Amino acid sequence: MKTTIKKMLTIMLAAFMVLSLAACGTKTSDNGSGDPQNMDEAVEMYKKLMDQENEILSQNKELWEKVFMAANKRDMTLQEDGKNYGDFLLDTIEFAKDDFTDKEYKILKEGAEKIKELEDQLAALEEKFPGVGEKANGNTSGTQSVPADSVNSQKFPAFDGKTLDGKKVDGEKLFSGNKVTVVNFWFTTCKPCVGELGYLEKLNSKLAKQGGEVIGINSYTLDGDKTTIKEAKELLAKKGVTYKNVWFKSDSEAGKFTEGIYSFPTTYVVDQNGNIVGDPIVGGITSAEQKEALSKLIDKAMKNSN
Amino acid sequence: MFQVALLILGVSMVGIGVMRGEADLVLGKAIRLCLECVGIG
Amino acid sequence: MDNKNIVKNTDNNLNKKSKLLARFRGGIQAAATLVSNINLPNFVKGGIYQGSGKAVCVPGLNCYSCPAASGACPIGSFQAVVGSSKFSFSYYITGFLILMGVLLGRFICGFLCPFGWLQDLLHKIPGPKFSTEKLRALTYVKYVVLVLTVVLLPVLVVNDVGMGDPFFCKYICPQGVLEGAIPLSAVNSGIRAALGTLFTRKMIILAAVIILGVLFYRPFCKWICPLGAFYGLMNRVSLLGIKVNEHRCVSCGKCAKACKMDVDVTRSPNSAECIRCGKCVSACPTDAVSFSYGFAKDTKDIKEIKES
């Protein structure tokens, strides 16, 4: 009797271990059944379709990474207006056909075709229920550093600050002058934050051609501490960063927003109207999924800005 | 005896560290999660 | 005659207090875990405590990424300081560790460390139990972990601007996963989205430590913990010790048998492996084993320190 109880408990513990490992895997989703009748169902369906798209991309991460790199080399605009994302991927795969083996090519093409279908469905949803995309993106299931309003998109708090070089910067003017602004929160002694500075500099150059820019906010420099500003500037110079880094007072609206951010690096995408697009990307933008998520947000912001 | 010496050493090292600015660095790192540093990512 | 009685009484007193302390260990461990993680509402709210209490270290292994953490982890803080481009050694943390080591030594492991408490609880889960006596060689691994991942690698392996990774925290520490990564990703979707291969690898480490903790007694403390390694080295010079009264000891060996850290109590009561749990104190049939606290008073005590 005693040994069977022992056995059961150890099996249960092992099962718990396995389950908790599985829990951190990719989300699986089932196909939406039937047509959505109202906005809520539409949002649900939208999210399911997005999940499926992400699943495809994460299943062959390295291959898709190559595709994105090829897109970068081509220096294509991230997405032309009105073009289906799946078509964009198909074009890039064709262009970079020589980089892949036949088997890889097949996998990628199939994935891109599926994504094209999903995108068509997503577009149809958007037509039937305008604004569903924003709602699906704006909804977060957990607490964010700032409570997200699930109905309306959130405005990035206004700020009145200075660059690390001392030039005045007004938040509203900055955002309205760009089709898209990528706001990267970091701090000086955070290694992954410093590690992605090179990538952000390149992104800034690319966005500049499309009417956007990257700005950095170093959490240490809030309130204009001279020593931390000096250290930040030295670091930025060493990493070859030319985009603006801004500071403002910690008791301002934006300051409180920044103090509420506790995980770094965190990257927000803001559109021309000063609205935060989607969810912030938390962690260094190193994996293909995160780069993917970022470019999607950027596309969305640019769409909103037209 | 050397237990007292170690105590004095410990206290003075803490003092030196604080003066060097190490305590500020610790605070800075402890209240801002560098995600990779704690194994997320 | 009088002198002998005085000594006998103080010895009795000491032994009584020692037995009492050993009996309340579980409660003290729970209290210490709570004090190290006082900001409980954060588990639900998400976010971490950002007050200036975190400039000070807690004595045990408690990750400052834990939403409830009230202070900083000494191991994490050490790596943060030496991994920065400004410093390659930390006086602040080393001084703190020396202080803690002299004042308490591995009493911290036995009474004040949350992760130690977890392992004590895990070992109570019914299942097959194995002895670690034949695996004594593994106890040296924790020193390698300390020197390599905490002290050297963050200083030596740096990026182009002189910053190093906190190797122990990033690649090894299961406590960070348990009380930081898991609670945070449970309530924060942004962090959930950031979980990647590093997290998976560390979950495997956590799972292994948990399973081993059911099968063996405190495997992490014995073989891996760099904090325990350092405090262990300080056991011999700590003010808090284990004392064996030679006159009362009848060499029955019950203390060594009761010891789950594989310490031969009568031969080396202040061994680096002893976590001062007091099981030997409770097990001794002649009340010969007690905790002791204080400076080495005379040559006899110093001799004992030198021999243990």
Contact C184/A at CB under 8 A: yes
Q: Are residues A233 and A298 in the same domain?
A: yes
Q: Are residues A294 and A168 in the same domain?
A: yes
Closest of C292, C279, C308 to residue C245, by C-alpha: C292
| Residues ≥6 apart with Cβ < 8 Å to C122 | C210, C213, C214
How many residues can be counted in chain A? Answer: 306
Residue B22 has pLDDT above 90, yes or no: yes
Residue A71 maps to a domain: yes
In tens, the pLDDT along C100-128 reads: 999 999 999 999 999 999 999 999 999 99
Residue A120 maps to a domain: yes
Residue C302 has pLDDT above 70, yes or no: no
The verdict on a CB contact (< 8 Å) between B32 and A190 is: yes
What secondary structure letter does DSSP report for B39?
Answer: T
Closest partner residue to A283 among B25, B32, B41, by Cβ? B41
Share of chain C above pLDDT 90, in %: 89
The verdict on a CB contact (< 8 Å) between C203 and A21 is: yes
Count of CB pairs separated by less than 8 Å, B with C? 150
Residue A18 maps to a domain: no
Domain span holding position A283 = 160-304
Share of chain C above pLDDT 70, in %: 96
Contacts 24+ apart (CB under 8 A), A301-304: A301/A179, A301/A180, A301/A181, A301/A212, A301/A269, A301/A270, A301/A271, A301/A272, A301/A277, A302/A78, A302/A179, A302/A180, A302/A210, A302/A212, A302/A271, A303/A81, A304/A271, A304/A272, A304/A273, A304/A275, A304/A277
| Single-letter code of the amino acid located at C75 | I
Predicted model pTM: 0.76
Contact C203/A at CB under 8 A: yes
| Single-letter code of the amino acid located at A90 | L
What are the boundaries of each domain within chain C? 25-233, 240-307
On chain C, the residues whose CB falls within 8 A of the CB of A222 are none
Q: Are residues A116 and A175 in the same domain?
A: no
List the 281-300 stretch of C: residues with Cβ below 8 A of A: none
Mean pLDDT of C70-81: 97
Q: For Cα atoms A157, A138, A149, give the angle at the middle one, nearest 5 degrees.
A: 55
Residue A171 maps to a domain: yes
Residue A289 maps to a domain: yes
Q: Are residues A122 and A176 in the same domain?
A: no
Q: Are residues A254 and A204 in the same domain?
A: yes
CA distance C236 to B7: 14
Block residue for tokens 């240490």: A220
Low-confidence ranges of chain A (pLDDT < 70): 1-35, 71-83, 134-152
At residue C228, the pLDDT reads: 98
Q: Are residues A126 and A173 in the same domain?
A: no
The model's confidence at residue C308, banded by pLDDT at 50, 70 and 90, is: low
Sign of CA dihedral C139, C144, C150, C151: positive
Query: Domain boundary at A138, A171, A200, which?
Result: A138
Closest partner residue to C296 among B1, B27, B37, by Cβ? B1
Mean pLDDT of C143-169: 96
Peptide bond before residue A265 is cis, with ω within 30 degrees of 0: yes
C91-103 and C226-234 helices cross at what angle (nearest 10)? 60
Q: Are residues A198 and A299 in the same domain?
A: yes
| Residues ≥6 apart with Cβ < 8 Å to B22 | C81, C87, C90, C91, C92, C93
ipTM of the complex: 0.96
**A267, two tokens:** 């990257």
Contact B5/C at CB under 8 A: no
At residue B37, the pLDDT reads: 81
Distance from CA of C226 to the nearest CA of B (A): 16
Q: Are residues A105 and A218 in the same domain?
A: no
CA distance C170 to C176: 9
End-to-end Cα separation, chain B, in angstroms: 49
Q: For Cα atoms C23, C26, C27, give the angle at the middle one, nearest 5 degrees.
A: 95
Q: What is the CA radius of gyration of chain B?
A: 15
In tens, the pLDDT along C268-287 reads: 999 999 999 999 999 999 99
Give the number of domains in chain A.
2
Mean pLDDT of C188-197: 90
CA distance C289 to C15: 7
At residue A140, the pLDDT reads: 40
At residue C180, the pLDDT reads: 94
8 Å CB contact between C32 and C53:
no
At residue A168, the pLDDT reads: 94
Give whole-number Cα distances, C28 to A123, C104, C122, C228, C253, in Å. 60, 14, 17, 18, 28
Q: Are residues A173 and A263 in the same domain?
A: yes
Distance from CA of A143 to the nearest CA of C (A): 6
At residue A149, the pLDDT reads: 38
Q: Are residues A73 and A115 in the same domain?
A: yes
Q: Which CATH number does C240-307 carry?
A: 3.30.70.3270
In tens, the pLDDT along A216-274 reads: 999 999 999 999 999 999 999 999 999 999 999 989 999 999 988 989 999 999 999 99
8 Å CB contact between A162 and A246:
yes
Q: Are residues A181 and A95 in the same domain?
A: no
Q: Are residues A61 and A116 in the same domain?
A: yes
CA distance A265 to B33: 9
Strand duo A281-282 + A212-218: pairing: unpaired
Chain A interface mutation, best of B33, B37, B40, highest count of A Cβ atoms under 10 Å: B33
CATH code assigned at A272 = 3.40.30.10
The verdict on a CB contact (< 8 Å) between C189 and A263 is: no
